Amino acid sequence: MVNRFFERNLTSVRDLTRADFELLFNVTDKIISHHATYDVCRGKTLGCIFFEPSTRTRLSFESAMLHLGGNTIEISSILSSTQKGESLGDTIKIISLYSDILVLRHPLDGSSKFAAEMSTKPIINGGSGTEEHPTQTIQDLYTMKKEMKKIDGLKIAIVGDLKYGRTVYSLLYGLSNYDVTIYLISPESLKIRTDSIYEIKKKLQILESTRLDDHLDDLDVIYVTRIQKERFQDKEEYFKVKGSYTIDKNVVKKMKRKSIILHPLPRLDEIPHNVDRSIHAKYFKQAEYGKYTRAALLGLIINNGFVNDISS
C-alpha cells in the first residue's frame, strides 16, 4: 500500500484526498482496536510549538507520540526566545534541528505554510489564525464516520462563528470530498468568508441561514462552534452576537433520533453541561478520537512502513 503521508507536511486539508482520509481512518481503527502500543515512532521526537493556548491539540499530539513509542519537546511563546525578538523563521529552523516532526499553532494565517518552508522536518498545522485546523477535521470526519456509520448522504449544520472559525474552513474543505448537504447557520455578522470557500462551493450543496430551529428535523449532525471573543477587534460586536445559539435540552428534544452534536471545544455557554449526558452528545468522544487520529497521522508521516505494519 502506498503511504502518501511519508515525510510530507500537513498544512492544509485542501492537500488531502478522499483516499487520504480513508487511509487515516483505517489506520486509526487499527490503532484503537489493537489496544497496544505500536513502536513505529521509537527514537523519534515531536517538537510542539504552541504560540496560542491549547489543551486538546497539544496534549493529544503529545499523548499520540508517546503511544507510538516516541517522545516530545515543547515550546510556547512565553518561554521561547521570541520574547527576545527572535523571528518565527529562526525559531522553526532551530526546533527542526532538535525534532523529527513539528506541530505548530500560531495566530497568523499562513504561519504553517511559512514554517514548512523554514523547517527541515515535516510540519503539521495545529491551527493557523482563522485559516485552518487540519487535524481537527481528521478527527471530526472520523467521528462522523464512527458515530453515523457513514459520511456520504449526511445533512450537516455548522453553527456559530463561521467567519473566524478555522475548524469550519478545514471541515468544509474536508467535506468537499464527500456527498453531503451543508447548512451554514450563523448571525449575519459572522457569515462564512465566501472567498475562502470559492473553490469548493461547487462541490457542496450549501444552504445559509440565521435560524437553526427551522432545520432541526432535517439534520444528522449539528457541529457547534464557539463564538470567539479573542478574534473580534471591536468587543461591542462580540457582545451583539454572544449567545446567539444555545443547544439546550429544548433544542435537543427537537433533534432527529439518531442525530449527533459535535463541537471542536472548548465550549462556553453554547452547549449547557446538562446536555452532556444526552445520547446525541458526541463531543467528548470526538476529543478522544483526536488522540488516535493524530497517532495515525504521526505514524504515517514518520514511518513509511507503518502502512504495511498496520495492514498485516
Catalytic residue, candidates 30, 58, 67, 105: 105
For residue 177, what is its C-alpha cell?
Answer: 470530498
The answer to whether 253 is a known catalytic residue is no
Task: From 264, 221, 275, 9, select the one nearest 119 (Cα to Cα).
Answer: 9
Spatial neighbors of 33 by CB under 8 A, at least 6 apart, are none
Tell me how far, at minimum, the Cβ of 266 lies from ligand CP, in Å: 6
Instruction: Rank residues 38 and 292 by Cβ distance to ligand CP and give the closer one.
Output: 292
Residue 254 has which C-alpha cell?
Answer: 427537537
Shortest gap between Cβ of 8 and ligand CP (angstroms)?
Answer: 21
Minimum CB separation from ligand CP for residue 305, in Å? 30
Least separation in angstroms between CB 67 and ligand CP = 18
Q: How far apart are CA 81 and CA 248, in angstroms?
A: 45
Whether 133 is a known active-site residue: answer yes
Size of the site for ligand CP (CB under 6 A): 10
Asked if 297 touches ligand CP (CB under 6 A), the answer is no
Q: What is the dihedral of CA 282, 147, 139, 215, to 10 degrees?
A: -70
Cα-flanking dihedrals φ and ψ of residue 224, to 5°?
Answer: -95, 140
Comparison of 52 and 155: residue with beta carbon closer to ligand CP: 52
Q: Is 57 one of the catalytic residues?
A: yes
List binders of ligand CP among 227-246 (CB under 6 A).
none
> Looking only at residues 93 through 132 of this chain, which bind ligand CP when binding is defined by CB under 6 A?
127
Q: Which candidate in 35, 84, 257, 277 is catalytic? A: 84
Q: Does residue 265 belong to the site contacting ligand CP (CB under 6 A)?
A: yes
Side chain identity at residue 190, one-letter code: L
Number of CB atoms found within 10 A of residue 177's CB: 20
Nearer to ligand CP, 122 or 165 (CB): 165
Does 165 bind ligand CP (CB under 6 A)? Our answer is: no
What would the grid cell of residue 240 be?
Answer: 451583539
Task: Out of 47, 165, 264, 299, point to the residue binding ligand CP (CB under 6 A).
Answer: 264
Q: Which lies closer to ligand CP via its Cβ, residue 56 or residue 163?
A: 56
Does 143 interact with ligand CP (rule: CB under 6 A)? no
Q: Are 12 and 173 a contacting pair, CB within 8 Å?
A: yes
Amino acid at 208: E
Helix (H, G, I), strand (E, B) or coil at 267: coil
**Annotated catalytic, 56?**
yes
- Residue 67 annotated among the catalytic residues of the structure: no
Shortest Cβ distance from residue 54 to ligand CP (Å)? 3
Q: Which of residues 46-85 bind ligand CP (CB under 6 A)?
A: 54-57
In terms of Cα–Cα distance, which of 215, 85, 77, 74 is closest to 156?
A: 215
- Report d(CA 188, CA 161) in Å as an integer: 10
Is 136 a binding residue for ligand CP by CB under 6 A? The answer is yes
Whole-angstrom CA distances from 2 to 106, 136, 307 are 31, 24, 8
Catalytic residue among 30, 121, 133, 155: 133
Residue 217 CB neighbour total at 10 angstroms: 10
Q: Which of 11, 28, 57, 130 is catalytic?
A: 57
State the residues that interact with ligand CP by CB under 6 A. 54-57, 127, 133, 136, 264-266
Tell me the catalytic residues. Answer: 56-57, 84, 105, 133
